[in-house]
Each structure stands twice: as C-alpha cells, then as structure tokens.
Structure 1
Amino acid sequence: MDRDRQQAREQDTLGHDGGGATGFTDLPSGALSEVAKRLTTDDPVETAKNLGNFKRVGRSARAALKTSPSAGEAVETSPAGAFDARLERLGTSAEALYRAAIPDNGFPEANLEDHRLLAERFRAIGPILQFQSAARKTATVDHILNLPETDLQADAINSMAKHLSDLDHVNRTRLVERAIEIFKQDGPANLETRITATLTLVSGHNHLNYGQKAQVLDAIIGRHDLAELYTGISEHVAPWENATSRSTFGHAVESQSSHLDKSIEAISDSATKLEADRAISPPPPRHLDAIHQVGKSINKAYNSARAELMASDRERDGHGR
C-alpha cells in the first residue's frame, strides 16, 4: 500500500496539474492534443491502450481529449478527442460483431449443419480481429484448433490467412504450425484438406518465419507430390501483403467529419442488429456475409478517422488554456 501511494505521488509529480515547477500536463492544450495524436498506431487495441494511459496522466490530459463542453463553454472538440470518441464506438461495434459470429463457448458439439458454416464464421470476423483483445484472439485460435476434424481446422485456418498479422507471434505460430502439419501428413490424406492447408501456406507466406519456411521447403524437397501441389497453387495464388486494409492508411481521408460520423453511426446500428440476431443457429450465410462487410467498414472508418486526425493542424501553443 505504501509503495502504491509513493507511485501515485510520483505520477502526480510527473503529470503535475498543480502549481510549482512546470510538468507534462502544464503544456498548452494544443501541445497535449499533439502528443495524443502521436500515440495512435495502425493497431486499434494498442491505440486505445495508449490513449487510456494518456488520460490517466491528469486532468489536463483528459481535457485535451474532451468531447463535451463544461458549463458555459462553447462546444469545441479537439481532433484527438473526436478520434478517441470514434475509436470507442468502433471498438464497441467490433465486439458486437464478434459476438454475433462466434459463440461464447466455441463449438464443443458442432453438428454437421454447422460444419458447412464454421469456416465462414471465422472468415466473417477476419476484418475485426485487430480490434479484439489479446485474450479474445487467443480464444479464437483455441476455437479453431479445438475443432473436432482436420478438414474443419484446415478450412478455419485458411479463412484467417489474410489476417495472420493481426495475431501475436504465439498465436500466429500455432495456426501456421498446424497448417504445416496438415500439409506434411504422411499416408493417405484427404486431398481437398491438403489443398486447403497449402492455400494457407502460400497466401500467408509473408507471415511465416524462417523456420516455418524451411519446414515447408524440406517437405517439398522430400516429396514430389507436395512439390507439385505447392508449385501449382503458387502459380495462381499471390501472398497477402498485409491484413485488412491497413496499407490504404493515409491514401484517402473522408471529405467531411460529419460524413465519417454518419458512417460510424450506421456501423453501430448494423452491428447492434446483427448481434441481436445471434440466437439464430446456425446463422444464415447472408448473416455472416453482413458481419464481414460491416467489419470491413469498421476498418475503413478507423483508417479514415486516423488519417483525418494526422492531417489536422496543430493548435497554436496557448490556445484553450
């Protein structure tokens, strides 16, 4: 307890919202907003954590992200504050979409009717995977690797190939290693399942580490059938460069903030409705496709919101003090 109090005093000293020597939060609100702007990254979860820590520095930091006026003040939202509010709404929508697609307890007793849709469930959440917590990402990989049949695992892993970079190293390795195992299986194997695993390894090639690439190469050298299969697929499938639409960041900014806010409002409404329909089991394909499309809209909105923030002019020192 004494150490906690000491840490709190040290944090107060660093933040320094009181009088005396100049501290971090004695900076003008425009400068603080600029600091907040630089805490954003292409990872929305990391960005949310960064901004959360920033707001805990002190009252001045929170004021720099204020999105509503105090009594008697005019309504004036800082660009960083507007971004923070948008991120919160998009994160809430992404969570709702995940719950709409993936049961809380996974698929412990997946029936034959569900088998046809399992890969589509995971494909549906691909665009919003980067918005999920580390624990939920691990749970997603657990759900995939706990599927009762190899072909189901292969299909589910392949549905996530485009989004491997949104997973941490450990979980990405778990999926890639399983795909390699399926690809290298000895003896008679379901050709379609092996083809699916090969598709994962080819399309996800840029996300394999050197050791994993070596495993694939050794398998190809040692078995003519695998070499023929891998080469044939490689001629028709190009590796994914990046997950979701991150590579488009900065290429376009919504022309008007009001338009972006309307888009986020529509996303929120759609996500709420889709989550309300989660009781329908199994979900119809159009339901999963809608989740996928709204998820893509969430990514686009995040990229647009961040691009708009980064393009905003820095407020002059002293403004808003």
Structure 2
Amino acid sequence: MEPSQRSLSDESEASRTEVHSTSTNRDMPPELLAKVATYIPTQDPIETARNLGSLERTGRAGREAVTSDPVGKYHARMKRIGASAKTVFDTVIPGNQLPEWETNRPSPTARTRAVGPILKFQSEAGKSRFVTNILNLPESAQCDAILSVIKHLNDLGEANKTRLIERSIEILRLEPPLTWNMGQKCPAVDVLVQGEKYLNADQLARIQQERSSRPRLSPLFGRAIADFEVQKTMDANPRRYRDAAGPEVRAVDTVIETIERYSASLARGGPNAVGLLTTNESFEKNINEVYNRTRAELDASSRDRSRSGLSR
C-alpha cells in the first residue's frame, strides 16, 4: 500500500515505529496509565490513533489502558468510523485520483464535496494527494472544487490549506476574471469570501490590492458576500429553511451502524455508479454527529471518573 493510501484504519500498524518513552510507560502504575490514556484523544483522529497505538504497545498496562473504558469504547468506535470513512473515500476517489468528468457520472467537484467531511480521517500523504488532485483539475474547475471543501480546510493541515488559498488568489488575478453565470459569479471570489477566516494578513492585503486596482471585481465581491450572508442565515436556522422537525436523537452505535451500511452499499456500487452520491448529505450529517458525540461521551466519562476519584 502506498503512503498516500493510508488512513485512520492503517495508523495502528504505521505507529509501530513511533513508541515514545516505552520504558517510562512500563514503570507507571496501571491507574496512572489509564488516566494518561484519557488525555491522548485530540481533534486529529489520525494523531489520536497513532498515539493510542503507541501506548497500547508499551506493555500489558498500556494495552489495558487503551482497551478499558472509557478510552476502549472511544477507540473501538473511532476505528469503525475510520474504516467506513476510508471505504467511502476510496470509492468516491478511486486510486486516490479524481476521475475525469464523464456524462452520467459524478463530476470531480461532486466527488470532492462528498469526501469533505472525512478528510480529517486521511493520512498526511493522503491529504496532500487530495489537494494535488484539485490543483491538477482544469483551471476553470479548481476553485469550484476548493469551494466544495471550504468548511473543511483546517482538516487538511496548514500547508495544504495554504496551497489551496494561494491558488485561489492566483486565479483571482486572472484578467479578465474567470466567471460564470453570465459574468455575475467568480469562483475564486467565492472561495476567498467564504474562506476569509483562513486568510493571513499578507493574503488579505494582496486580495485588497486586487480589489482596489480592478474595479470590475467590486460587483463580484458584492455578490459573493451577499450570497454568503444568505447561506450563513440558512445554516444558522436549519429547521426553518430545511427540516420541519427536529433531528432524531439515536444511540451512537446505531449511527455508526448506519454509516457502515452506507459505506458498504457505496463500495458495492463502485466509483461510477449512477446515483453514487444521492444520499451523501445524510452520510455527512451522520459522520459529523457520531464523531462529535463519540468524543463528547469520552470527555464526559473522563470527568465523571475524575470526580469519583476525588470523592474517595
């Protein structure tokens, strides 16, 4: 398996060479190792899997710390989520390559949008390859693809995020501007407006210079800002604009089972199946919900155990 194909489900094997302070960990009492294990999970599931794997291989106490609740339940769930995420990613973007657009098949942008919520589960090499795939698209399609994952740029890491932002600025500088919808929309402008929170001072200054020196960009920015405000209002009030009823609250393991069924169904259909991504919105909601709730349950269990220990 090439490095770019590794993901969360492969990190246990990958971390064999990354065991740190092994002898020190072996000397720790089991209760302390169990406490240490609760502090290992971070917002980066790849890093978390690697570090839990390292602790697990330090010896019997390390294994017990990782496999016993609450960390054991968290780790087992994240492995299942990561395995499903890998199946979906490998099906939607087969061979870590974005297929060229063909009639009656998902477009490259539809594919990038579909995997946005699971980019956090990809290895560093996989994330880099994903960004390279976007930058290898025709220039006219690059910013649409970037925009499709704009909410997930932080999951790609700082270097990859910078690559996408810098390419968007390069495309913004094209003369005449690269537009669609009869010249009313500019994908590069949309990226930079919706991704403003990712921009550093230098990038903001360069964008402002373009706006000041090219008056024809002004209406494009105005339209992008107005559209983004509407989108933010809709996102802030989903029940008003989308769902009449509140979301159904299901057990975490039930949601994971739903994700597993979806990923298996997707794999059976293959990367070019008609309707490949028709239910992807539900998958996105499920993966976000279960990822956040799994971490929240671990945090709550850890706090409860800490309070219990202090009361003794």
Q: TM-score band (shorter)?
A: 0.7 to 0.9
C-alpha distance in structure 2 between counterparts of 1:212 and 1:289, whole Å: 36
After superposition, what is the alpha-carbon deviation per residue over 1:245-283, rounded to whole angstroms, capped at 9, x for unaligned? xxxxxxxxx988xx211221221121111122125x2x4
- Aligned partner of 1:102 in structure 2 is 93
C-alpha distance in structure 2 between counterparts of 1:126 and 1:51, whole Å: 25
C-alpha distance in structure 2 between counterparts of 1:42 and 1:238, whole Å: 28
- 1:162 and 1:240 in contact (8 A); partners too: no
Structure 2: any 5+ residue segments left out of the alignment? 1-16, 233-247
Alignment of 1:41-120 (within 5 A): 41-66=42-67, 77-104=68-95, 106-107=97-98, 110-113=100-103, 117-120=107-110
Q: Does 1:144 align with 2:134?
A: yes
- Aligned partner of 1:274 in structure 2 is 266
Deviation (angstroms), 1:211: 1.6
C-alpha distance in structure 2 between counterparts of 1:301 and 1:174, whole Å: 30
- 1:101 and 1:125 in contact (8 A); partners too: yes
After superposition, what is the alpha-carbon deviation per residue over 1:150-192, rounded to whole angstroms, capped at 9, x for unaligned? 2221211111111111111111111111111112201364445
Change in Cα spacing, 1:36 to 1:42, as seen in structure 2 (3 Å) is same
Residue from 172, 175, 181 that aligns with 2:164:
175
Alignment of 1:1-321 (within 5 A): 11-16=21-26, 23-24=27-28, 26-28=29-31, 31-66=32-67, 77-104=68-95, 106-107=97-98, 110-113=100-103, 117-147=107-137, 149-187=138-176, 189-192=178-181, 195-238=186-229, 259-279=251-271, 281=272, 283-284=273-274, 286-312=275-301, 313-314=304-305
Higher helix proportion = 2
Deviation (angstroms), 1:236: 3.0
Deviation (angstroms), 1:57: 2.6
Change in Cα spacing, 1:185 to 1:12, as seen in structure 2 (3 Å) is closer
- Aligned length, in residue pairs: 274
Larger radius of gyration: 1
Q: Residue 314 of structure 1: SS of its match in structure 2?
A: helix
- Aligned partner of 2:236 in structure 1 is none
Which amino acid is 2:60 matched to? R
- 1:101 and 1:121 in contact (8 A); partners too: yes
Identity %: 36
Change in Cα spacing, 1:311 to 1:105, as seen in structure 2 (3 Å) is closer
Which amino acid is 1:13 matched to? S
Change in Cα spacing, 1:151 to 1:44, as seen in structure 2 (3 Å) is same
Length-normalised TM-score, structure 2: 0.78
C-alpha distance in structure 2 between counterparts of 1:240 and 1:181, whole Å: 25
Deviation (angstroms), 1:209: 1.6
Runs of 4+ residues over 6 Å off in structure 1: none
C-alpha distance in structure 2 between counterparts of 1:145 and 1:55, whole Å: 39
C-alpha distance in structure 2 between counterparts of 1:132 and 1:219, whole Å: 35
Which amino acid is 2:25 matched to? G
- 2:96 and 2:130 in contact (8 A); partners too: no
Deviation (angstroms), 1:294: 1.5
Q: Residue 236 of structure 1: SS of its match in structure 2?
A: helix
RMSD (Å), alpha carbons: 3.0
Deviation (angstroms), 1:105: 5.0
- 2:180 and 2:186 in contact (8 A); partners too: yes
